[in-house]
Structure 1
Amino acid sequence: LKIPVFFAKPYCSSDKPHIENINGLIRQYIPKGKPFDKISDDEIRQIQNQLNNRPRKKLGYKTPYEVFFLHL
């Protein structure tokens, strides 16, 4: 596919700011230390839906869903 690949250094959050950002957003719904086996599939889908419909400054205040479908 000739797609460039970047490998971040382990434990180096500055190498992966987008991942750290989404982790922070997820933590608004799932507190640190809560076992993932205690979270139902429905809860995960609900969180996923809320995050994908949340406008982002980085996306020009569009939602990830809007941007995804604009590029299809």
Structure 2
Amino acid sequence: MLPSTPCLIIQGDLMKPKTWMLSTEGQVVMGPDDRFINGIAAVFASYYNFNLQYPEDGSCTLEFIQRY
């Protein structure tokens, strides 16, 4: 079961991810891809392009990453 908000799915070890996929609305919409930085960019682009608010439980962290 996947969340409805944009979510980065990591495949492999968390510290050394092999691939990633992007899910939104409970479905995988991008990936798999092997460049982790592209996955981070895809998550933030999804929030921006779809004009979504960050989830409340992670909003401070996502806002920090976005700004810095």
Larger relative CO (CA 8 A, sep 6+): 1 or 2? Answer: 2
- Pick the structure with more strand per residue: 2
TM-score (norm 1): 0.25
TM-score (norm 2): 0.26
Higher gyration radius (CA): 1
- Pick the structure with more helix per residue: 1
